[in-house]
Amino acid sequence: MTALEVRDLHKSYGELDALRGVSFSVAAGEVFGLLGPNGAGKTTTVEILEGYRKRDGGEASVLGEDPGTAGAAWRERIGVVLQASDLPPTLTVREVHEMFAGYYAQPRNVAEVIDLVGLGEKSEARVKTLSGGQKRRLDLGVALVGDPELLFLDEPTTGFDPSARRAAWDVVRSLRELGKTILLTTHYLDEAQQLADRVAVIRDGRIVRQGSPAELIAGTPKVQIRYREDGRDVVVETDEPTRVLAELTGTAAAAGRELEGLEVVRPSLEDVYLDLVENGAPAP
């Protein structure tokens, strides 16, 4: 079942064509990552899908409705975590969750949500006393209170320390296990590689590549073989790692030499991404 679909989405701000024909679809229960450099058009796309911004052209369907015209019942089925939020500073973490729970017909249990986002010990702390990372967790908690089917996470772990990031990843994974659909934008490629079933890379308002992280990585032939020889680091880039490695190891073994520090390194999603956005690799 498709949770979300856009076809040929267009959006201009005056002279600037921010979206020039964006198309993708996200299946129910999938975690989909939208990647791209600053200004590529990710937030514009997400805000159109959230119903916060009008599109100029193309089609959009979110949980079976057009986000441009969908009403309050539809909004209850989606959760949104914005890049920056403005929650009442003098309320406590629990009070903020309770306030949002009041907006929904069937909210989740507030204490459970607070625990899920790792704020159990801060339940009675006022918003203004929270650290930046804790505020982001609060944003996530608020988005989860309505028990949404579909969650929009816009750069959800920006400013998190490494352990908070891992904790947030666990939250996303547990939401996925609950069958939620998640549209994630992030600048952390390791985050996308860890969490997303599929990603789309957007550049200058167009999608230049989409697929699972593994597919994107497999699509780049280059593998690095690294070792040390005579005190120097040697790096061989090849699209035939088996043959090159056999030759190297064969020659070294025949000479009774050890290839010091030998490793075969596959490119990461970040390498593939940088290649796409910096070298302008053409869309397939």
Per-residue tokens: 259: 């290839």
Helix axes 132-144, 93-101, angle to 10 degrees: 20
> Which one, 13 or 103, has the nearer CB to ligand ATP?
13
> Which one, 201 or 223, has the nearer CB to ligand ATP?
201
Contact residues for 75 (Cβ-Cβ < 8 A; gap 6+)? 51
Least distance in Å: CB of 102 to ligand ATP? 31
- Residue 103 contacts residue 135 (beta carbons within 8 Å): no
Q: Which stretch binds ligand ATP (CB under 6 A): 37-45, 88-96, 236-244, 246-254?
A: 37-45
Residue 41 in contact with ligand ATP, rule: CB under 6 A: yes
Least distance in Å: CB of 264 to ligand ATP? 33
Calpha distance 231→234 (Å, rounded): 9
Burial class of residue 105 in the structure, from the number of CB atoms within 10 Å of its CB (0-12 exposed, 13-18 middle, 19+ buried): exposed
- 207-242 burial, b at 16+ Cβ within 10 Å, e below that, comes to bbbbeebeebbeeeeebebebeeeeeeeeeeeeebe
- Residue 63 contacts residue 149 (beta carbons within 8 Å): yes
> Which one, 42 or 97, has the nearer CB to ligand ATP?
42
Interface size with ligand ATP, residues (CB under 6 A): 11
Residue 36 in contact with ligand ATP, rule: CB under 6 A: yes
Residue 40 in contact with ligand ATP, rule: CB under 6 A: yes
Calpha distance 82→94 (Å, rounded): 20
> Which one, 1 or 16, has the nearer CB to ligand ATP?
16
The only residue of 15, 38, 86, 263 in contact with ligand ATP, by rule CB under 6 A: 38
- Nearest-10 Cα torsion for 206, 212, 215, 217: 80
- Residue 217 contacts residue 269 (beta carbons within 8 Å): yes
Q: Which stretch binds ligand ATP (CB under 6 A): 10-18, 87-95, 173-181, 220-228?
A: 10-18
Coarse DSSP helix, strand, coil percentages of the chain, rounded to the nearest 5 percent: 35, 30, 35
Residue 44 in contact with ligand ATP, rule: CB under 6 A: yes
Q: Which stretch binds ligand ATP (CB under 6 A): 31-39, 63-71, 110-118, 255-263?
A: 31-39
Least distance in Å: CB of 47 to ligand ATP? 8
> Which one, 44 or 157, has the nearer CB to ligand ATP?
44
> Which one, 34 or 150, has the nearer CB to ligand ATP?
34
Binding site for ligand ATP (CB under 6 A): 13, 16, 18, 36, 38-44
